[in-house]
């Protein structure tokens, strides 16, 4: 009976030791799995950060190029409008100059006497040259 009791105690101790070893093994396995999970999580977070940074950089680049394109287009439109305004102004000045010259000529040549005087003056200039 004592032998059985001793055997039973030894078996219980052996089972306890075996359970203890299994617990250590499970704990070690759990720690390894947790370490792998953390490592995987860190890699995923790093990749997500890199993707985010790339997306931000790409967006900034696209926005910058679009801004430059819009600015160049606006400058071109302003230059075209300026050229059109200058052309219109030149046309108006030319029209006014012709109108003024016409009025001056009408005034200067309104009488026969003035016309004869102008013709004689022009002839004298031609003869002198």
Domain assignments of the chain as residue spans, ordered by start: 2-128
pLDDT of 68 higher than 90:
yes
Distance, in Å, from the CA atom of 103 to the CA atom of 115, rounded to the nearest integer, reads 15
pLDDT of residue 129: 53
pLDDT of residue 16: 80
Q: Which of 1, 20, 22 is nearest to 9 (CA)?
A: 1
Q: What is the mean pLDDT of residues 64-74?
A: 96
Whether the full predicted model's pTM is greater than 0.85, yes or no, is: no
- Of the pLDDT bands very low, low, confident and very high (cuts 50, 70, 90), residue 128 is low
Structure tokens at 75: 């400058």
Strand, coil or helix: 129: coil
pLDDT of residue 5: 79
Distance, in Å, from the CA atom of 39 to the CA atom of 111, rounded to the nearest integer, reads 109
pLDDT averaged over the chain? 89
- Of the pLDDT bands very low, low, confident and very high (cuts 50, 70, 90), residue 11 is confident
> Which tops the pLDDT comparison, 47 or 121?
47
Q: What is the mean pLDDT of residues 57-78?
A: 96
pLDDT of residue 13: 80
Structure tokens at 103: 């009025």
């Amino acid at each position: 009976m004592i032998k059985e009791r001793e055997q039973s105690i030894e078996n219980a101790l052996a089972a306890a030791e075996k359970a203890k070893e299994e617990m250590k093994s499970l704990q070690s396995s759990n720690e390894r799995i947790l370490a792998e999970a953390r490592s995987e999580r860190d890699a995923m977070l790093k990749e997500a950060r890199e993707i985010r940074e790339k997306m931000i950089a790409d967006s900034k680049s696209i926005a910058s190029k679009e801004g430059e394109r819009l600015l160049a287009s606006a400058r071109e439109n302003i230059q075209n409008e300026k050229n059109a305004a200058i052309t219109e102004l030149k046309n108006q000045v030319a029209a006014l100059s012709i109108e003024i010259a016409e009025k001056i000529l009408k005034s200067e040549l309104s009488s026969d006497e003035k016309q004869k005087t102008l013709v004689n003056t022009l002839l004298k200039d031609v003869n002198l040259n």
